[in-house]
Amino acid sequence: MTELPRKTDKKLGLVIDLDICVGCHACVVNCKEWNTGGYGAALSDQNPYGDDPSGTWLNRIHTYEAGEGADTRVVHFPKSCLHCDDAPCVTVCPTGASYKRADDGIVLVDESMCIGCGLCAWACPYGAREMDLAEGVMKKCTLCVDRIYNEAFEEVDRVPACVRTCPANARHFGDLADPTSDVSQMVAARGGIDLMPEQGTKPVNKYLPPRKGTPIGEALPAAHRPGGEDDLSATGFLGWVDDMLSRFG
């Protein structure tokens, strides 16, 4: 079985703002494109266009309806490998193919050592690993390790493909072991949370919870609220229209 490093110098990971994600799947598509032509074996598809599509994707978005009544809202929830400090997918691996790097905390799979047994997928409580049926090896998010250290790229591009492509700026990348980093400050300011903390895996990736919404009526300017001090139903042009229509009532 593979051992975890006692300590990692960095904790590179993602911070995802659930209040901003619009569920556009741009991160999903760019992740697929980058990892198909980059690190490791290409991500294969078996039946991408049929009635029962199947294939290998390292990043997925789940959409939920949460809350009740006026507080109901749609939440888009992106999910990929969380690069846990106490990663059960690593310790269960019988060949050492799954491992966590001591220098930056990224969890990876050495595909040349992977025998496709699937134990890591069973051990992951987040369902973040996928078997590539064409190659017979386990695939997972690499945080685009072949991209973030590539000095041939401009610095702005040395981030995971999902972060670079997000049009809403809902995804952020950095060192969560550094309390002064932008991602650490976001987590502190917004009360960033772990996914399923009861599992004890200590995920590095964090989620920023949706902000509490303002009821639609309260969000309107006072002039547009029924009974407001500047209620346009009694004054101005709309007041005149309301008066005229009332004469035909």
pLDDT of residue 246: 64
Residue 56, token pair as written in the block: 């290998």
pLDDT of residue 221: 58
103: number of Cβ within 10 Å: 10
Q: Is 34 helix (H, G, I), strand (E, B) or coil?
A: helix
Range of the domain at 192: 12-208
3-state secondary structure 130-149: EEECCCCEEECCCCCHHHHC
pLDDT surpassing 50 at residue 233: no
Domain shared by 37 and 78, yes or no: yes
Cα 31 from Cα 25, distance rounded (Å)? 10
| Overall size of the chain counted in residues | 249
* Residue 20 within a domain: yes
Cα 109 from Cα 154, distance rounded (Å)? 27
* Residue 2 within a domain: no
* Residue 3 within a domain: no
Q: Is 129 helix (H, G, I), strand (E, B) or coil?
A: coil
Cα 88 from Cα 196, distance rounded (Å)? 14
Q: Which residue has the higher pLDDT, 231 or 75?
A: 75
What separation, in Å, do the N-terminal and C-terminal C-alpha atoms of the chain show?
81
pLDDT surpassing 50 at residue 232: no
Domain shared by 239 and 143, yes or no: no
The structural domain count of the chain equals: 2
pLDDT tens per residue across span 111-148: 999 999 999 999 999 999 999 999 999 999 999 999 99
Give the CATH number, domain containing residue 155. 3.30.70.20
